[in-house]
Amino acid sequence: MPRTVITTEHAPALPAPLSQGIRKGPVLQVSGQLPLHPVTGEVVGTTVAEQTTQTLRNVTAVLDAGGAGPQDLVMLRVYLTDPAHLAEMNEAYAAAVSEPFPARTTVYMRLPPGLLVEIDALAVLED
pLDDT (average), residues 112-119 = 97
Q: Tell me the residue range of the domain where 42 lies.
A: 3-124
pTM of the entire structure? 0.95
pLDDT at 15: 85
**Residue 95's pLDDT band (cuts 50, 70, 90):** very high
| Domain at 52, CATH number | 3.30.1330.40
Number of neighbours of residue 97 by Cβ within 10 angstroms: 20
Q: If you count them, how many residues does the chain have?
A: 127
Q: Per-residue pLDDT tens for 2-61?
A: 999 999 999 999 889 999 999 999 999 999 999 999 999 999 999 999 999 999 999 999
What pLDDT is attached to residue 127? 67
Total of domains in the chain: 1
Angle, helices 86-96 vs 48-65, to 10°: value is 40
C-alpha distances (whole Å) from 112 to each of 107, 123, 125 are 16, 27, 33
